[in-house]
Amino acid sequence: MASFTRTLKDFVAGESPTANNMDSLSKGVPGHEVSTTPTNGIIAVTTVMSVTATTLAGRLYRISADGNLEQSSASALERFAVSIKEGATTFVQRGFSNVTTLIHGYHVDAYVTSLSAGAHTFIVTVERTAGGGTVNHALVSSSPGYVTVEDLGPNA
């Protein structure tokens, strides 16, 4: 796992942010998408959600994904993976097993310090890694999926 440091400006009562210390602050959420579109019958790597965010260089970002998995069979031998990627780069991959035919919520985070300034498109993928069944990315309006990009501050 990559290590990172974070330096934030501590403001005292009555002190106002200035142009010189504004870079010490979080820049908020440059990207957030909500999805209610399900994807069924997943076997191979399949993109299930995406978000585009404009980022700054030298910053720490948290990219998070939340959604629901539903296995096609009740076999305990099934294994699935949820990944957060940009292009060919995988920032994080989390494995799940024995999701069963009930809907199983997931949360995956990636902390990224290597982004350049500009627009970046991050994708969330789901794939079967073992077993013979399929998995559904089970999203509906009452239980949507989310992909969020958060600027956590400078990586210095």
pLDDT tens for the chain, 156 residues long, are: 444 444 445 566 666 666 666 666 677 898 999 999 999 999 999 999 999 999 999 999 999 999 998 887 666 678 899 999 999 999 999 998 765 667 888 999 999 998 999 999 999 999 989 888 888 899 999 999 999 999 998 886
Q: Which domains does the chain have, with CATH numbers?
A: 22-154 (2.60.120.1340)
Short-list 52, 45, 59, CA closest to 135: 45
Burial profile 3-24: b = 16 or more Cβ within 10 angstroms, e = fewer: eeeeeeeeeeeeeeeeeeeeeb
Stated pTM of the model: 0.82
Contact yes or no for 39/136 (Cβ under 8 A): yes
3-state helix, strand, coil in the chain (%, to 5): 0, 55, 40
